[in-house]
Amino acid sequence: MSDTIPLQHPPATALVTGAHGFLAGFIIATLRRRGWRVIRAVRSRPRCADERHCDFVHHDVIDWAALLDGVDAVVNVAGILRETRGQRFAAIHHSGPLALANACVEHGVRDFVQISALGNPADGEFIASKHRFDSALSALPLRAVVLRPSIVYAPDGSYGGTSLLRALAAMPIAVPLPGAGAWAIQPLCTDDLGTLVAAALQGEQRGVFDVGCAEAMSLRDYLLQWRKWLRISGTRTLSTPIWAVNLGVAIGERVAAGPMGQTMWRMLKRGNVCPPDAHARLLSAFGTAPRALATVLAEHPSQVQDRWQAQLYLLAPVLRIAAVLLCLLSAWAGLATPAVQIEALAAESLLAEVQPVAWARFAGAVDLVMALWLGSGWRLRWAVASTLLLVLCYTLVFGVLLPAQWLDPLGGLAKNLLLLPALAVLWVLSDRR
């Protein structure tokens, strides 16, 4: 898909919601290349001159006049993949954007582009809530264009489910596949979606458009193309029992963790494909349509950083589990080791002068708290950083007070020389925004 479609008499300013999200970043970049002034609508407190506050959870208190001041068009990219206590599908996907669309009618903003999702409402509220808004938007006196993309990927970045798929493609020895990996998808590049948005804003089209590449492909072929792009040899695949994937997805949904929820899994099993005429409709309406995956990847050669990201993605939860177990074992040692044994260990060292039993019990309690914090996932980067600092303190204190531990036959303090950089890596990998 070309990014050189001329923009004829474009509106001066476009408001893009969900501006801190994965998709919005690419759409904003495309619009700016086309000469648009972009205002980014964000949930957090605005930090830049081009940001304005817009929280769909509290849409009833938004000053719509201020938000839409100077705005000629709106692109709604806001969305969530999984509900939390503070964010519900009904608010983020339906009532919030509907309030925005009604405000556009009231304040004379004529053009509205909605980034929805390709799928069947029966697959879950994620899809159902988006499609309810799509229908409501289409009934308003706006020039509304609804784009419903299949799986969206970027050769220069990934997020959520696309990161998981890259990680599967980069697995050593063989690519794990749910079942035979025969389910059909029609993936499209983020740049192509951005080009479609720009074309939709410049024209007079309206209506709902399913968006995907021209030809459907199996999940197996999709993963193997990414493996080839990552320059990882081999095309061997490993079939994973469906019941095992079902169990993993169910657990992830229960604990509100993991890149793939029940809705995404149902969509994948059903096959996430467009109607046969979808590609031709896009070409007819916008003069452009998504390119094939092979074409996009050929135009963006991979770098070593791409392999790092793909191969480290699944190591992050493994490192986190290891850190939790480490803290639990350390807590057990500090709380359960008999006092006599602790005093014997500290004998004839500087530690013997500072109440070693009391300090062992205190350290054990701290370790238990750290284990619970890491396990909860709350402010995870802070938890990892605190664990790193704690281990560093242990290393320095015991290295001075119990220097013999450096030469312990089982590693003792020496193991911390590897543990500390491992925790530092976990801190880096915990940033998954």
Looking only at Cα atoms, what is the longest distance across the chain? 85
List domains and CATH numbers for the chain: 13-313 (3.40.50.720), 317-429 (no CATH)
Report how far apart, in Å, the C-alpha atoms of 362 and of each of 11, 278, 322, 358 are.
64, 64, 22, 6
H or E element in which residue 209 lies: strand 207-211
Residue 290 has pLDDT above 70, yes or no: yes
Instruction: Quickly list H helices, 230-379.
Output: 242-254, 262-270, 278-286, 293-299, 304-312, 315-336, 339-346, 356-376
- Whole-number pLDDT of residue 180: 86
Cα separation, 87 vs 81, in Å, equals 10
The burial class, CB within 10 Å (0-12 / 13-18 / 19+), for 392 is middle
| 169, two tokens | 């493609």
Please report where in the chains the tokens 């880096």 appear, as a residue. Answer: 428
pLDDT band, very low/low/confident/very high, at 406 (cuts 50, 70, 90): confident
Cα separation, 40 vs 33, in Å, equals 15
Residue 11 has pLDDT above 70, yes or no: no
> Average of pLDDT values for 76-102?
93
Cα separation, 53 vs 66, in Å, equals 10
| 69, two tokens | 């001041």
Residue that wins the pLDDT comparison between 350 and 104: 104
- Whole-number pLDDT of residue 245: 87
Question: What SS3 state is found at 214?
Answer: coil
- Whole-number pLDDT of residue 328: 96
| pLDDT digit string, tens, across residues 407-419 | 877 777 888 899 9
Lowest-pLDDT range of 100-114, 263-277, 347-361, 383-397: 347-361
pLDDT band, very low/low/confident/very high, at 301 (cuts 50, 70, 90): very high
pLDDT band, very low/low/confident/very high, at 84 (cuts 50, 70, 90): confident
- Whole-number pLDDT of residue 90: 95
| pLDDT digit string, tens, across residues 129-149 | 999 999 999 999 999 999 999
Residue 79 has pLDDT above 90, yes or no: yes
Residues 6+ apart with CB under 8 A from 360: 333, 334, 335, 337, 342
Type of residue found at 232:
I
pLDDT band, very low/low/confident/very high, at 7 (cuts 50, 70, 90): very low
Lowest-pLDDT range of 317-321, 328-332, 355-359: 355-359
| pLDDT digit string, tens, across residues 220-243 | 999 999 999 999 999 999 998 988
Lowest-pLDDT range of 2-11, 159-168, 332-341: 2-11
Cα 354 to chain centroid distance, Å, stands at 47
Tell me the chain's radius of gyration from C-alpha atoms: 26
Residues 6+ apart with CB under 8 A from 107: 64, 65, 68
| pLDDT digit string, tens, across residues 255-289 | 767 777 788 888 888 889 999 999 999 999 999 99
| pLDDT digit string, tens, across residues 179-207 | 889 999 999 999 999 999 999 998 899 99
- Whole-number pLDDT of residue 256: 67
- The pLDDT mean for the chain works out to 91
Backbone angles phi, psi at 51, to 5 degrees: -110, 145
